[in-house]
Chain A
Amino acid sequence: AQSVSQHNHHVILSEAASLELGCNYSYGGTVNLFWYVQYPGQHLQLLLKYFSGDPLVKGIKGFEAEFIKSKFSFNLRKPSVQWSDTAEYFCAVTANSGTYKYIFGTGTRLKVLA
């Protein structure tokens, strides 16, 4: 069955700490991968995406993610978090042909302490 797993449900970090959020997926075929973010009181919005090419992708606000095909993973990283990164982060996968069914992970709530 198609699925996306986010291993960390709640993460608490101090400002300037490094962040890595795990995302693993089970999805047959070639995939498009996304990280979305939901800041408090705001809409879900795209943080970054991978369709093809360089497996290390950079997004907004200094975030990056690496697609490791052999591990079915797409982990999100940021070298130094800020208080304003407090949000909920969702990993998502969709096929890039055929069904195009979008699957979201359950999300990771990140709290950054000032």
Chain B
Amino acid sequence: KAGVTQTPRYLIKTRGQQVTLSCSPISGHRSVSWYQQTPGQGLQFLFEYFSETQRNKGNFPGRFSGRQFSNSRSEMNVSTLELGDSALYLCASSQLRGETQYFGPGTRLLVL
């Protein structure tokens, strides 16, 4: 099976812009979670989607949003980018909720 794929792999944006990141889970996986990874902060949970519904949400401002499509692919959007949004954004999928997550390579976002 192909692993979790994320596009794009790298992004450079300026403050105030918005960005959309995409994640394709492993075939058959219905749960998709998003994380922000920064040095010293570890993995900060953004949100989890299962069967096209947001099931959990982390402590991030409303500028961060996401969605999941019927084929389980997911997107996350960040509007009005801030310098502090520079990070590695990881997507993880699992077959069922609460089980082992399989991570993608991440999208590295740099906000200038």
Q: At the interface, yes or no: A106 with Cβ under 8 Å from chain B?
A: yes
Q: Given A43-B105, A44-B90, decide whether A103 and B100 contact each other with a Cβ distance below 8 A.
A: no
Number of interchain pairs (Cβ within 8 Å): 53
Q: With both chains docked as a complex, state the minimum distance between the C-beta of A81 and any C-beta of chain B, in angstroms.
A: 22
Neighbour of B35 across the interface among A34, A45, A96, A104, CB < 8 A: A104
Q: Given A44-B103, A45-B103, A99-B56, decide whether A104 and B98 contact each other with a Cβ distance below 8 A.
A: no
A46 lies within 8 A of B100 (CB): yes
Q: Which residues of A contact B92 (CB under 8 A)?
A: 44
Give the contacts of B76-107 with A (CB-CB under 8 A): 90, 92, 97-106
B100 lies within 8 A of A49 (CB): yes
Binding site for B on A (CB under 8 A): 32, 34, 36, 43-46, 49, 90, 94-97, 99-107
Could you list 24 A-B pairs, sorted by A, with CB under 8 Å?
A32-B98, A34-B100, A43-B4, A43-B105, A43-B106, A44-B90, A46-B101, A49-B100, A94-B98, A97-B98, A99-B55, A100-B48, A100-B55, A100-B56, A101-B45, A102-B56, A102-B98, A103-B45, A104-B35, A104-B42, A104-B43, A106-B41, A106-B42, A107-B43
Q: Given A90-B42, A96-B98, decide whether A102 and B48 contact each other with a Cβ distance below 8 A.
A: yes
